[in-house]
Homo-oligomer: A and B are copies of this chain.
Amino acid sequence: MLIPGFRFAAAMAGIKKAGVWDLALMTADEPVAAAGVFTTNRVKAAPVLITRQRLRSGKAQAILVNAGNANACTGEQGLDAARETTGMAAELLRIPEGLVLPASTGVIGQPLPVAKIKAALPDLVANLSPGALPDVARAIMTTDTRPKTASFKGKIAGKEFTLAGMAKGAGMIHPDLATLLVFVFTDAAATPKVLKTLLRQALPVSFNRITVDGDTSTNDTILLMASGKAGNPAIAEAGPEMAALGEALNQVMGDLARQVVADGEGARHIFRVVVQGATSPKEALNAARTVALSPLVKTAMAGEDVNWGRIMAALGRSGARFDPERVEIAFGELAVVKDGLGLGPEAEAKAQQVIKSGIFNLNINLNAGNFSDYYDTCDYTEDYIRINASYRS
C-alpha cells in the first residue's frame, strides 16, 4: 500500500498502556493540496479546531495523530498542547508549524500528555517510511478490534494513480458530516477545492450512512491529501478526471465505513437497512436511520429473532408517511411481512437463517412513493454494554 509522495511512522508513546502503538505521523514530501471535513458536534476537540483553521490555506504537509486521549473539553490548555506538539513535529521536519495538522482520539476531558508525545517525536520522524501506513492504522485504534485500511488503483489522464486510506472507530459512531478519524492519501494531482467537493460527495455513500450507537463524537475528522506524484495535470474542475478520482474516493471511503460498522463495539451481526418506496428522499433516509438506530431492533438482531413488529414500530415513529397496511419487509430476499401483515412462522424460520449468516440486507418497501435510501448498522450485544460500562476503568 504505497502512495507516492507520502511517508508514515508509528510509535509507542505510553499514552495508552505500555507496549502498544498510540502515536503516528504521516507526511508528504512537500506541501500538498489537502481538504477535511469535521464533526458537527457543538463541542469540538482542540485538534479539530486547530486543523480546521490550518486547512483554510488548502495546503498541508503532515498529520500528527494520537490515540488514548481525545484532547476534547480541555480548554485553552488543550489548544496549547496541540500547538506545542505539532510545533515540535514541525521543527524536527523543518517545515512551518501551520502545515502540521493535529488529530486525537480517546478519552474526553483529560489533559493531553504533552511530555510523552514530545519524547517520542524524534524517533517517529526518524522512522518515516513509505510502507508504514498499516502501522499507523493500528496505532490510531481505541476500542477497535482490527485496523481498517482500503486502497484503489486507477488511471487519470493516462497516468496511473493510487488512493488509499485508513479509518478508526467502533463506538460513539453516528457521524454527522464525518466520522471519528479517517485519513486518505492519493498521488493524483487536484486542487484543494476539488478535494473538498469530492469529500463532501463521498459522505452520503460512506460515513453519513453508518451508525453504531447514535452518539456523535467530538473528534470526527476526515482528511484527504493529494501529492500529485502521479503526474496528471492538477484536476481543477468537473470532468472525467474529477469523476475518476471521485469514484476512487467513494470506493475507498465506502469500504472504510463498512469496516467501521463491522467492527462496531460488541457487534456480531452487520446489516444494511434499505428503505424503498418512500414519499421523499428525506423520509427514506429518516426511516432507514430510525430502524438502524432502534435499540429494540438491534437487540432483536443480536438474539437472531425475526421480530418484525419492532421494525414496524420504528418505521411508525420515523416521521415517514406511509400506510402500515402496504408495508413489505424482507430479510435478504426472504419476505416476512406483506401488506403490513406477518407471513407466519415458516417464513420467519427461513428469514432467521439470513440473520444467522451474520451479514445481510434488511429490505423494507413502504410502497408510498419512489424514493429510497439506506443505513449500515450492527446489532447491540451484551459486549457493547460491557465495553462501555468499563471504558475508563
Q: Does A70 contact B (CB under 8 A)?
A: yes
Q: Report the minimum CB–CB distance from A189 to chain B (whole Å).
A: 36
B73 touches A342 (CB 8 A): yes
Chain A: interface residue count, which band?
35 or more
Q: Does A165 contact B (CB under 8 A)?
A: no
Among the 9-residue stretches A105-113, A153-161, A193-201, A245-253, the one with 4 or more Cβ atoms under 8 Å from chain B is A105-113
Q: A42-B322, A303-B388 are in contact. Are A109 and B312 (CB under 8 A)?
A: yes
Q: A109-B308, A305-B392 are in contact. Are A315 and B385 (CB under 8 A)?
A: no
Q: How far is the CA of A108 from the CA of B42 in the complex (A)?
A: 39
What chain B residues lie within 8 Å of A40 (beta carbons)?
317
Q: A172-B313, A315-B42, A324-B42 are in contact. Are A294 and B215 (CB under 8 A)?
A: yes
B295 touches A213 (CB 8 A): yes
What chain B residues lie within 8 Å of A302 (beta carbons)?
385, 389
What chain B residues lie within 8 Å of A315 (beta carbons)?
42-43
- Out of B322, B324, B388, which one reaches A73, CB within 8 Å? B324
Q: Report the minimum CB–CB distance from A196 to chain B (whole Å).
A: 23
B389 touches A300 (CB 8 A): yes
Q: How far is the CA of A242 from the CA of B88 in the complex (A)?
A: 71
Q: A72-B309, A108-B312, A303-B388 are in contact. Are A296 and B382 (CB under 8 A)?
A: no
Interface hits, A54-76 → B, CB 8 Å: 70, 72-75
Interface hits, A166-215 → B, CB 8 Å: 171-172, 176, 213-215
Starting from the known contacts A214-B293, A215-B313, 13 additional A-B residue pairs (CB-CB under 8 Å) come to A42-B320, A43-B312, A44-B316, A108-B308, A108-B313, A171-B296, A213-B296, A215-B317, A216-B316, A218-B316, A300-B388, A302-B389, A305-B389
